[in-house]
Structure 1
Amino acid sequence: MDSNKFSPEEIAAVYKVIRERRDMRHFLSTPLEEGQLQRFIQAAHSAPSVGLMQPWRFIRITDPQLRIAMHKHVDEERIATADALGERSSEFMRLKVEGILSCAEVLVVGLTDHREKYIFGRRTMPEMDLASASCAIQNMWLAARAEGIGLGWVSLFDPEAIRHLCQMPEGSQAIAILCLGHVKDFYPAPMLEIEEWDKRKAISEIFYENSWDANEAGTKPIL
């Protein structure tokens, strides 16, 4: 018996929340319960980070006019993205890409300024600050899903525009707008799969052994 191992029920719960996490776009306006947002922030702040740099910063948006301004900017970027997609433009415009005005809570996630002083683990890969913050967002996502709360990650924005709107310091970077709130139902599958935008790849297409092109060269798939 491995004393480090969780119980079968706990293990099943971990895999269930990973499997049923969804990037949500449709929300109810019902407020979160007392203490929920704080628990989600704590879950995010418990994430690992390269060199323990903890580069994440969370800004709770409570000003309705600021929400409206952010929504307007995201909608402008949505149109610009559609233009850049060419032949898939009309298909993209049918997708719902955010829930900023309808969700209970909006958070802006940013990378802190003065990140260049953190060298541990970043000397050759400075982007590990973004990887670390992504781990924090995933922690929040899973905690929210476990409590029946939807979360949507909005990335259709100009980081500098959001930085200015939220009065973030020079050198910091906005990386996500998070929409949090109750939902009527969680999507049975990722929304972009349901809308046939794309589909999840098979494990054999993303898992290789020893070299990148092992499967493509005809090697028997690992899984």
Structure 2
Amino acid sequence: MQFNITDTEILRNIILHRRDVRGNRFLSTPVSTTVMDQLLFAFEHAPSVGYSQPWQLIVIEKETTKQAVKNIFIESNDHERVHFDSDKASQYQRLKLEGIVEAPVNIAVFYTPPGQPVLGQTMMPEAGLYSVVCGIQNMWLMARSLNVGMGWVSILEPEKIKEVLHVPSHLQLVAYLCIGYVSKFDELPELELLGWERRKNQAEFIHHETFKQS
């Protein structure tokens, strides 16, 4: 299959306008089974090292489960904020960093460590984790193409999440995702709009032939 310049421009715009959505943006509008099927289709067709497909996903819609996860977030968030200096801590306090109970659907994504050698993973074991992240990015772009918001919550204690979801001990939590329709997508990433960080220029991270110290 060959693609044309119009396809390329559409993909460029999807990438450019993908956003990490917070709870103050999610609507209560249900996400249909048809849409969820498309998101999961995008995930399962991500590349994986050695074609290992080392992922397990739990789709969560029950309010009781979401609230249990939200409680873990609240506790984890108290530990997170102490790592920032006074200026950042004040700004941190005002940030809405999740949408666990607001989003109609949550998805917990886990990595399954291999029990035997995996092609392409023996020298770089972390490539298995990277495969799972490729699936997340696939799903994120598909969601944006469907005008569905997605947020990645990383301020969570993984072992407590596994306990709430009855996940086997050997699995590793990679992401906790909040999914739903939104009131709007910001023109720029929220943390860029708020001045938390700036977007780097390519000259700051792209090198040619060898690494150049700045």
TM score, norm. by length of structure 2: 0.94
User: Which secondary structure does the structure 1 equivalent of 2:144 belong to?
Assistant: helix
Deviation per CA, 1:67-122, whole angstroms, max 9, x where unpaired? 1010110121111100122322221111110001111110100112x424243212
What corresponds to 1:18 in structure 2?
A: 15
User: Which secondary structure does the structure 1 equivalent of 2:57 belong to?
Assistant: strand
Q: Which amino acid aligns with 1:127?
A: E
State the 1:63 CA deviation.
Answer: 2.4
Gaps of 5+ in 2: none
What corresponds to 1:92 in structure 2?
A: 92
What corresponds to 2:108 in structure 1?
A: 108
Map 1:77-88 onto structure 2 (within 5 A).
77-87=76-86, 88=88
Highest Rg: 1 or 2? Answer: 1
User: Which secondary structure does the structure 2 equivalent of 1:122 belong to?
Assistant: coil
Contact 2:52 2:118 in 1 (8 A): no
Determine the C-alpha separation between the residues in 2 that align with 1:38 and 1:119: 28
How well do the aligned residues superpose, as a CA RMSD in angstroms? 1.3
What corresponds to 2:137 in structure 1?
A: 138
| Identity level (%) | 34
Deviation per CA, 1:115-139, whole angstroms, max 9, x where unpaired? 2424321212111111100100000
User: Which secondary structure does the structure 2 equivalent of 1:134 belong to?
Assistant: helix
Determine the C-alpha separation between the residues in 1 that align with 2:117 and 2:141: 28
Contact 1:82 1:90 in 2 (8 A): no
Which one has more relative contact order, counting CA pairs under 8 Å at least 6 apart?
2
Determine the C-alpha separation between the residues in 2 that align with 1:142 and 1:118: 31
Q: Which amino acid aligns with 1:36?
A: V
Gaps of 5+ in 1: 217-223
State the 1:61 CA deviation.
Answer: 1.0
Query: Does 62-71 or 116-125 show the bigger shift?
Result: 116-125
Q: Which amino acid aligns with 1:126?
A: P
Contact 1:151 1:178 in 2 (8 A): yes
State the 1:161 CA deviation.
Answer: 1.0
TM score, norm. by length of structure 1: 0.91
Deviation per CA, 1:17-36, whole angstroms, max 9, x where unpaired? 01110111120010013410
State the 1:5 CA deviation.
Answer: 4.0
What corresponds to 2:204 in structure 1?
A: 205
Query: Does 94-103 or 119-128 show the bigger shift?
Result: 119-128
- Runs of 4+ displaced beyond 6 Å: none
